[in-house]
Structure 1
Amino acid sequence: MRVTLITGAASGLGWQLARACHARGDALLLTDIDAPGLAPRLAELGDARTHGLAGDITDPDLHRQLVEACQARFGRLDLLINNAGITHRSPTVATTPAVFRKVMAVDYHAPLELTLAALPLLRESRGQVVAVGSMAGWMPLLGRAGYCAAKSALSQAFEVLRAEISRDGIGLLMVYPSFLDTPIDRNALGGDGQPADHARSTIGKIRGADWMAHLILDALDRRRERLFPDRGSWLASLLWRLAPGLYYRKMSQRFAGEMS
């Protein structure tokens, strides 16, 4: 039986991943900062092969507790899915340093540090790691400086990590979604750290989290290294590299509302 640890599992993509993994027979350790939201999810799955531990994913003590819980409850860890994330919608010059630090802590430091803490168990199982990045890590978007920076840092760190841990037989899948219908954008921070007060701007189609979850599991089964599920966003990232001036004009028009 595969043992899977999922962060940010109480809602959105994390919850859809939990449902899909549970349906295929995985034992699950689910974590989320939203303890009241996590409890009914655990009750819905409701069996001995599902365990939950609420807490702040940026807390190193939680990382230790999660690894220890995997060992104590299941005796192993086969798959770590770093899904928890946070974003902001605010012009760079109108965003407090605290917001930038929080986004970087959740989206970059936490997944890297949790993965490092889990490596001893993953080496034993020759398991797999998933890091949920974003196409925003590949191309600039107005009003998302902190998020773009954090997802870019995540991508670069995990691309290096893949080469290093492959020697131990550990696989690493980087996922680069575009715009999904999940609470991460509904809970976006404004520049002052309070909830953002304007709707998000988007490029391309907004996809469902269940659609994304099944693509991720299929990519894991195939031992793929990267997943670019949205062709439109992938092409936009190429435009940024091949014709940055044109990309800037198009992006600035599309995301003009972010500067209000």
Structure 2
Amino acid sequence: MKHKQAFKDKVAIVTGSSMGIGKATAKLLGEQGAKVVLNGRTAERLEQTAANMKSIGLDVLAVQADMSKVDDCKKLIDETIKYYGRLDILINNAGMSSRGYFEELDPKVFQDMMNINFLGCVFPTRFAIPHLKESKGSVVFISSVAGIRGLPETIMYCASKMALTSIAESLKVELAEYHIHVGIVYVGITQNDEGKKVIGKDGKLVLLESREDRKAQNPEDVAKSIVKNIKKRKFKSILTLLGKVNFFANILIPRIVDRILIRAKGRINQMNK
């Protein structure tokens, strides 16, 4: 019972929570007593997710909003406060990957990736901080092991996820006196929902192949790690063995890492499909 009520009466926003990691995290928080605000850009999918969670007794509010737009981010925070009256946890999960070598990318891809993955975390955090000061709550950024070391063909995804580390590190210092927990979780390769898309080199959406036949984490396991980060008020959480190896190797033997990646470009290309 204690485990199930770990977040009793806490109010949590999970951006990008109509599918994948966000959905699994929102569900787990709800099961442990939190009132959860779901968010997504697609109304139909968002409402279906909300209906499913309400059917098992979870207390959820669905807010359709695009995190790459300032006004939508303010709307998400405002509607949360209006409905629940407080905010304890903000999980910046909404994001999208991209594909294509740097010289092939349409300039629109640069803008879209930073708007979605970077500013899509910055904007909601900016509006959430006054409320998190009151609750001494948590703000968590969902990054990627690709945000530890730049990789070929996913260059803008890596760049936008790396930028989150700077935000998290700065906020940890700025908000320390307010006792706000700042966390960042570096997620590894994760199984994707059917129909998940990424941004192609021309800026158009491309269907991502299933990862069921790969050594990928399932969203539920990732959700457990995210929730654990919040419970322990931990700063950095690096998931998977590969992620940890990537982190330490990049510090200790960066030149060797360069050589390995140069030789592995073809294999990385296949993994990105």
Give the TM-score normalised by the residue count of structure 1.
Answer: 0.92
Paired positions, count: 258
Deviates more, 1:218-227 or 1:5-14: 218-227
1:223 corresponds to: 233
Q: How does 1:14-33 map to 2 (within 5 A)?
A: 14-33=22-41
1:121 corresponds to: 131
Report if the CA contact (8 A) 1:78-1:127 is conserved: yes
Structure 1 Cα separation of the partners of residues 95 and 145 of structure 2: 14
Structure 2 Cα separation of the partners of residues 63 and 162 of structure 1: 21
Report if the CA contact (8 A) 1:5-1:81 is conserved: yes
Aligned match for 1:167, one of 159, 164, 177: 177
Structure 1 residue 9 corresponds to structure 2 residue 9: no
Deviates more, 1:133-142 or 1:186-195: 186-195
Structure 2 Cα separation of the partners of residues 200 and 98 of structure 1: 26
Structure 2 Cα separation of the partners of residues 95 and 184 of structure 1: 25
Q: How does 1:23-102 map to 2 (within 5 A)?
A: 23-46=31-54, 49-102=59-112
What does the per-residue CA deviation read over 1:69-95, in whole Å, with 9 as the maximum and x for residues that have no partner? 121111100000000001111111101
2:253 corresponds to: 243
Counterparts in 2 of 1:160 and 1:175: CA distance versus 1, 3 Å: same
Structure 1 Cα separation of the partners of residues 173 and 50 of structure 2: 35
Shift of 1:199: 5.7
Shift of 1:48: 7.9
The one-letter amino acid of 1:149's match is A
- Structure 1 residues not aligned, in runs of 5+: none
What does the per-residue CA deviation read over 1:28-50, in whole Å, with 9 as the maximum and x for residues that have no partner? 11111121111111111126831
Structure 1 Cα separation of the partners of residues 194 and 131 of structure 2: 29
Structure 1 Cα separation of the partners of residues 127 and 142 of structure 2: 18
Q: SS state of the match for residue 14, structure 2?
A: strand
Q: SS state of the match for residue 57, structure 1?
A: coil
Structure 1 Cα separation of the partners of residues 108 and 52 of structure 2: 36
- Structure 2 residues not aligned, in runs of 5+: 1-8
Give the TM-score normalised by the residue count of structure 2.
Answer: 0.88
Structure 2 Cα separation of the partners of residues 81 and 60 of structure 1: 17
Report if the CA contact (8 A) 2:13-2:38 is conserved: yes
1:131 corresponds to: 141
Report if the CA contact (8 A) 1:131-1:173 is conserved: yes
Shift of 1:165: 0.9
Counterparts in 2 of 1:249 and 1:123: CA distance versus 1, 3 Å: same
1:194 corresponds to: 204
Structure 1 residue 213 corresponds to structure 2 residue 229: no
